[in-house]
Amino acid sequence: MIDYTKTLKRGGNVTHYRDTYACIHLDYLKDNVETLYQKVRKPLMAIIKANAYGHGYQEVANMLKDNPHISMFGVATLKEAIDLRNIGIEQDILVLGGIPIEDLDLVIRYDITLSLFSREYMEEIIKLYHHDRPVKVHIKIDTGMNRIGLKSKEEFEDILQACKSSIFQVDGVFTHFATADDENQKDAYEKQINMFYEIIGDHTFKYIHCQNSAAMMYHHDTRSNLARIGIAMYGVDPAGEECDALKQAMSLYTRVVMIKKVKKGERIGYGLTYTALEDEYIATLPIGYADGIIRANQGRKVYIQGKYYPIVGRVCMDQMMVKVDEDVHLHDLVEIFGEHISLAQMAKELSTIPYEIVCLVSERVERIYVK
């Protein structure tokens, strides 16, 4: 067990002046990449959108850029792609969503790859194009998710033909699964993957990719030559289950700022929704919903010095209260999630998915990188 009570003290690198920290194990990310690579044995596109799922895109990208298994990076927005270029990432960067076409100049200037997902989008790009370098694209096929992508072989052939005689450089083709994480919907996965390969037909591409973390972990596919590694890289099982094969990279900690004794019948927090059942010790923690710990956490537990204690009263924007006992002291370290409370468990208790919890950890929370 790692003793964070000593290591997570304010130190030279602390910049947020607050005892609330997300602790990120970059080595765990590296180990998870290796684990997933051994499973699929093909090059990987590291998905580091949304600030690397809350883990900090700069540190994550810098750690991954020399990893021999990582061939490309995937992000959601043009800004995220440009941010990666600006910190020196040289590999191809694919923007998985659409971009405002007015920003096409930036796509060319920063050598970003776009997802090409509809005839209309393609025509808008052609209209604004006035460059001497082609627009790099991966064609997105919608095989059932109904988000973005071409929905038929005809549309695909049509776009492919238009791309040949135009300004585009088609580097890849891809699709995204809606149910790869769900063992009760394997038929939907099968339908999607079959449709993907039927639409591509005999065409060849530098990159053919469809696997996300769940598809890599729970299914088998040898026809694609690149896999997109997202949540599993951060050490979280895509189906939201406990998973020994992966190492959860992020933990969230804070420290007790005040302890008081309240009398039986006293009430706590906004709305006075909790009433002390007896004389009780209440600890106040400097973390709240503006840090990503949403109000639905009321009633859940945190971990302090070997025991679990309930969050009482409403979670405030910046603070929350916990019912403790004599064993808890001022400045004690509090685990919100980590070694003793997994993201999988927390997500279940909140009726959500681990993705949402890590993405919500806000900029205000200091990230400390542990090696």
Ligand X SMILES: Cc1ncc(COP(=O)(O)O)c(C=O)c1O
By the rule CB under 6 A, 176 interacts with ligand X: yes
Stretch that binds ligand X, among 6-14, 63-71, 211-219, 243-251 (CB under 6 A): 211-219
Closest C-alpha to 217, from 31, 26, 46, 35: 35
Q: Minimum distance between the CB of residue 353 and ligand X, rounded to whole angstroms?
A: 9
Q: Is 213 in the site for ligand X (CB under 6 A)?
A: yes
* 30 belongs to the binding site for ligand X (CB under 6 A): no
Instruction: Identify which of 87, 86, 89, 88 has the alpha carbon closest to the alpha carbon of residue 73.
Output: 89
Least distance to ligand X from the beta carbon of 78, Å? 15
**Tokens matching residue 145:** 């998710």
Q: Which CB atom, from 250 or from 268, has the smaller least distance to ligand X?
A: 250
Considering the complex, state which of residue 224 and residue 297 has its C-beta at the smaller distance from ligand X. 224
Number of amino acids touching ligand X (CB under 6 A): 11
Question: Is residue 230 at the binding interface for ligand X, with CB under 6 A as the rule?
Answer: yes
Which residue, 48 or 256, has its beta carbon nearer to ligand X? Answer: 48
| Cα–Cα separations (whole angstroms), residue 368 to 20, 22, 200, 232 | 10, 6, 44, 20
- Residue 47 binds ligand X, judged by CB under 6 A: yes
98 is a site residue for ligand X (CB under 6 A):
no
Show which residues are catalytic.
49, 270
Q: CA 176 to CA 169: how far, in whole Å?
A: 21
Segment contacting ligand X (CB under 6 A): 5-13, 223-231, 261-269, 270-278?
A: 223-231
> With respect to ligand X, which residue has the nearer C-beta, 230 or 235?
230
Q: Which stretch binds ligand X (CB under 6 A): 17-25, 33-41, 83-91, 207-215?
A: 207-215
The two tokens of residue 341 are: 């409370």
Figure out which of the listed residues 46, 112, 231, 347 binds ligand X, where binding follows CB under 6 A.
Answer: 231
Please tell me whether residue 354 binds ligand X under the rule CB under 6 A. no
Helices (H), the chain: 4-7, 26-40, 49-53, 57-64, 78-86, 104-109, 119-128, 153-164, 186-200, 213-218, 343-349, 354-360
Residues 54, 24: Cα–Cα separation, whole Å:
10
User: Does 236 engage in binding with ligand X (CB under 6 A)?
Assistant: no
Give strand pairing partners of 335.
Answer: 253, 303
By C-beta, is 192 or 212 nearer to ligand X?
A: 212
User: What is the spatial distance between Cα 111 and Cα 114, in angstroms, rounded to a whole number?
Assistant: 10
Q: Is 212 in the site for ligand X (CB under 6 A)?
A: yes
Which residues, in sequence order, are CB contacts of 169 under 8 Å at separation 6+?
134, 135, 136, 137
Distance, CA of 228 to CA of 213 (rounded, Å):
7
**Among the listed residues 98, 238, 240, 269, the single contact to ligand X using CB under 6 A:** 238
Q: Note whether 16 and 363 are within 8 A (CB).
A: no
55 binds ligand X (CB under 6 A): no
Tell whether residue 195 is a contact of ligand X (CB under 6 A): no
Residues that bind ligand X (CB under 6 A): 47, 96, 176, 212-214, 228, 230-232, 238
